[in-house]
């Protein structure tokens, strides 16, 4: 009989693509998901994209009874269930700590009683804070923090102690975390708890630090989701994409099908146990370029981005992935080029409707002093 995997949060954007990939490659797939209204809408119905062969259990990961039910007969767990969003985490602290930290604790408490063959936990590039930099003497600089006063003056790029410019370089897993938001803190806690318990109870565990994931099924009406989905929502509604700072901050965008494959590889590779891996494209692109490329692909070039010149508390300037370790150990190599991924996304967008809530998001952050 085929092995069974439980994906917590598996009805969401990334989780559902992981479910598709594992189902296609011979796994039996069960999903536990609360179908959060902010992500799935108010009706709470099973998403139409979730394949019929995927078993869905509706429940909150903090509900030990529902989690225990979902774990029955399971051989592996992929833990995605989490509240997502840097900005929102800074004013809905109880929700984020409850769902992300307590939810993970409930899952692990049950896995102690009945360990699985493999546990894969979704972490995030947000745990790094600022990515790795190099100074003008060629030395790596790990712990970089931007001075709030400098950011307010529009000096967005960090500098060294002597005031000299720093150059962003690919960030490896060896870089020490620098936690700039409640969301980042929670993701780091999730990965550490899982790895710690996995080692203590001889349950092979892998943490995957995802960079900026994009693709079909993103929650377009959620203003705290990925930047591409937010830009798409604006453009679909005839509005300009809103860009914080000057738009020259650099990110690593990785297609969701590449991410799904990385999960499958992590489940299969024995040498991955107990380790953390970056999952990205290995390339960087500015947010300005992302907005321009998306508008061009959608045929909406007339909507030039609105550059706010303001920074959100918890945002970082540059962070993009060094994926050498994932290549070496997992055999992971991204396959979807950014331009091709955008074309697929835009084709999907043609059949979607989105509520543009970006102005609401900005108001919520500004009212709490979370925009500098």
Instruction: Give the active site residues.
Output: 183
- Give the CA distances from residue 4 to residues 14, 32, 196, in Å, rounded to whole numbers and listed in that order: 19, 13, 24
Number of neighbouring beta carbons within 10 Å of residue 352? 14
Is the CB of residue 304 less than 8 Å from the CB of residue 145?
no
- Smallest CA-to-CA distance from 121 within 11, 274, 314 is with 274
Dist CA 308 CA 152 (whole Å) = 12
């Amino acid at each position: 009989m085929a092995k069974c995997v439980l994906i917590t949060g598996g009805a969401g954007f990334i989780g559902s693509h992981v479910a598709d990939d594992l189902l296609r490659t011979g796994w039996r797939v069960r999903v536990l998901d609360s179908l959060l209204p902010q992500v799935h809408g108010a009706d709470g119905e099973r998403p139409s994209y979730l394949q019929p062969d995927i078993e869905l259990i509706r429940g909150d990961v903090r509900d030990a009874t529902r989690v225990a039910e979902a774990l029955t007969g399971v051989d592996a767990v992929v833990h995605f269930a989490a509240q997502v969003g840097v900005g929102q985490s800074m004013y809905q602290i109880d929700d984020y700590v409850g769902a992300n930290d307590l939810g993970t604790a409930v899952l692990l408490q049950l896995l102690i009683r009945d360990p699985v063959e493999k546990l894969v936990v979704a972490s995030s590039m947000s745990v790094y804070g600022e990515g790795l930099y190099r100074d003008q003497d060629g030395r790596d600089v790990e712990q970089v923090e931007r001075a709030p006063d400098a950011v307010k003056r529009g000096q967005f790029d960090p500098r060294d102690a002597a005031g000299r410019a720093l150059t962003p370089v690919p960030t490896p897993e060896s870089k020490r975390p620098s936690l700039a938001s409640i969301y980042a803190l929670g993701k780091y806690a999730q990965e550490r708890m899982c790895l710690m318990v996995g080692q203590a109870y001889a349950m092979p565990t892998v943490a995957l630090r995802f960079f900026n994931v994009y693709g079909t099924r993103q929650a377009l009406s959620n203003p705290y989701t990925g930047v591409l989905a937010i830009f798409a929502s604006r453009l679909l509604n005839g509005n300009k994409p809103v860009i914080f700072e000057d738009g020259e901050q650099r990110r690593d965008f990785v297609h969701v099908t590449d991410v799904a494959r990385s999960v499958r590889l992590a489940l299969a590779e024995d040498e991955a146990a107990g380790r953390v891996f970056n999952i990205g494209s290995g390339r960087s692109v500015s947010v300005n370029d992302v907005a321009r490329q998306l508008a061009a692909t959608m045929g909406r070039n007339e909507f030039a981005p609105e550059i706010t010149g303001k920074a959100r508390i918890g945002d970082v300037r540059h962070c993009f992935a060094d994926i050498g370790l994932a290549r070496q150990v997992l055999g992971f190599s991204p396959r979807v080029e950014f331009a091709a991924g955008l074309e697929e996304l835009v084709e999907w967008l043609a059949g979607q409707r989105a509520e543009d809530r970006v102005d609401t998001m900005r108001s919520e952050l500004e009212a709490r002093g979370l925009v500098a």
